[in-house]
Structure 1
Amino acid sequence: MTISPTEHRYLQVARTLRKEIVDGVYPVGSQLPTEHELCERFEVSRYTIREALRRLRDDNLVSSRPRAGTLVVPRAATNSYAQDVMSINDLLAFATGAQFTIESNAMVTIDDDMAEHTGLAVGEQCLAVRGYRQIDGAPVCCTEYYINRTFAAVGRLLQRHSGPIFPLIEDLFGVSITEVHQEISAVLVTPGLAAALNVAPASAALRMLRTYTTSDGEVAQVTVNTHPSDRFRHSMTMRRVKGQP
């Protein structure tokens, strides 16, 4: 999750400007300083500034036009992103429709077991949130969030928030989640989890691991959902592409 400022200076510049936009230093409708002024401020090359501004455009925070400068624009109100199997809207619909009850919420350091569980690197720090989603009072799945420490401030909002977390990260920090990678695997329910989900220990379950990546290529969060096998169905439609065997 940590990005080296020496290797990716333009990302550091983009983050600084992004935070200033979100904090209102540069409100909607205002112009950012010129490329020359930004070069002097950050002591970087024009190429670095242009790459940083490109990141802000990717996050729909600014627009740039020749001879008109870079303008801070209203953030687009859309959560629809194309994926190979499903849309991020589908993730929103599920998370919004199922009430989330938090069991634990704490900063943790990823150890060997958690690294294998989440795909995160050993030694990284993140906000770990664990709880259960329910529909009509019945537990649907166990949900675990591992949130990049850069965005851990969203933790203070979770007690009053029942929907998905990644839109909060986007709104609070001005980033865009541009990719969600999902892996589904078959697992056996552990005894502790079985009691909470009202199923037999060692019964079958589906484990869904989702990795949310920003336009900066940074992992914003990892989500692990464990569904009893009789409470989840995943479907997709495949069509032959013309001209392909």
Structure 2
Amino acid sequence: MTERVSSSNKGERAADSAKPVGPLYVQVSNTLKDEIVNGVHPVGSTLPTEDALCERFSVSRYTVREALRLLRDGGLVASRQGAGTVVIPPSSSSSDIHQVMSINDLVDFATGTRFVIESTKMISIDARLASRTNLPVDSHWLEVRGYRQSEAMDTPVCWTEYYINRAYAAVGRLLQRHTGPIFPLIEDLFGVNVAEVHQQISATLLEPELARALDVEANSAALEVRRIYKAAGAEIAQVTINTHPASRFQHSMTMRRVRV
């Protein structure tokens, strides 16, 4: 019997609502990951049993176990004896890095703006760029640079730089016609799972050329938001740097007490 991924819940963003990509266990894992970041399975909750998942997706127990392994590797869930598979919070850190509690928040931000591309090219990371991106010197990445525009504003929201793993550089051919965020496109095209995003917000000053483009004074204050997107296995899939004029940036987060 041929396995297929399906969902009985029409309101959920399940694998049957889009073209299946990758092995079955990857499809199941991506569907469950999407539900976790959308709050269908909140932190502290227990995922359905293996039997229930087998029935829901019409797949074998082996496929379900491999899908759950990907979620564990990505730090989204933990398997506990007698308690099933539990959705867990991101690991804590003693640094000043802000934890991204929902990857879906990044999707919401990007879909609310339009990315106007200025340049797309393969580059070699030099020492200066390595310090900004945390990428290895002399490694090769697809660089995409441009502005994010909002329909509600005449001036750009921010200056954006993407650095995409050369293994996924083929995504560059689709960007002129693509309006949403880039990392879900990488997931769909290559069957990878972006499991976590490290975000760091730093203060900076705008150089004259960039200040003019953003319609603010030269050397005025700005906030640089760096996000490192990691796939399961800790491989870096993408690094994004957004430079926002300080007067146009607001960062909000909600924290909840979780009992585990």
State if a TM-score over 0.5 links the two structures: yes
Paired residue type of 2:111: T
When residues 28 and 148 of structure 1 are mapped into structure 2, their CA distance, relative to the original with a 3 A threshold, is: farther
Deviation string 1:159-194 (CA, Å, 9 cap, x unpaired) is 001210000100000011000000000000111111
Q: Which residue of 2 aligns with 1:200?
A: 217
| Partner amino acid, structure 1, of 2:103 | I
- Structure 1 position 119 matched with structure 2 position 116: no
Q: Verify: 1:147 aligned to 2:143, yes or no.
A: no
The corresponding residue for 2:102 is 87
> Are the aligned partners of 1:64 and 1:71 in contact in 2 as well (CA < 8 Å)?
no
**Does residue 180 of structure 2 align to residue 184 of structure 1?**
no
Task: Write the letter of the residue equivalent to 1:194.
Answer: A
Residue 155 of structure 1 and its aligned partner are, at CA, apart by 0.1
* Aligned counterpart for 2:122 among listed residues 90, 107, 120: 107
CA 236–70 in structure 1, closer or farther in 2 if over 3 Å, else same? closer
Aligned residues: 186
Distance 1:89 1:57 in 2: 18
Structure 1 88/69 Cα, relative in aligned 2: closer, same or farther at 3 Å? closer
Looking at structure 2, the residues matched to 153 and 105 of structure 1 have their Cα atoms a distance apart, in angstroms, of: 12
Query: 1 CA distance for matches of 2:65 and 2:255?
Result: 42
Tell me, in whole angstroms, the C-alpha distance in 2 between the residues paired with 1:227 and 1:99.
15
Aligned-residue offset at 1:235 = 1.6
Distance 2:113 2:188 in 1: 21
Distance 2:203 2:197 in 1: 20
Deviations 1:185-231 (A, max 9, x none): 00001111111101111100010000000013210000000000011
Q: For residue 234 of structure 1, what is the aligned residue in structure 2?
A: 251
Residue 175 of structure 1 pairs with residue 192 of structure 2: yes
CA distance in 2, matches of 1:187, 1:71: 44
Answer yes or no: is the 8 Å Cα contact 1:100–1:132 preserved in 2. Answer: yes
* Match for residue 166 of structure 1 among 173, 183, 193: 183
Q: Is the 8 A contact 2:196 2:231 kept in 1?
A: yes
Report if aligned partners of 2:226, 2:240 keep a CA contact under 8 Å in 1: yes
In the other structure, the counterpart of 2:155 is 138
Partner of residue 65 from structure 1, selected from 47, 61, 65: 61
**Equivalent position SS for 2:156:** strand
- SS in structure 1 opposite 2:197? strand
Match of 2:173 among 156, 163, 171: 156
Pairs within 5 Å for 1:214-229 = 214-229=231-246
Q: How far apart, CA to CA, are the structure 2 residues paired with 1:125 and 1:114?
A: 12
- Point out the structure with max Rg over C-alpha: 1
Identical-residue share of aligned pairs (%): 56
Q: Does 1:29 align with 2:46?
A: no
Structure 1 position 86, deviation (Å): 3.3
Quote the Cα distance in structure 1 between the aligned partners of 2:243 and 2:64.
Answer: 48
Give the letter for the 1:128 counterpart.
E
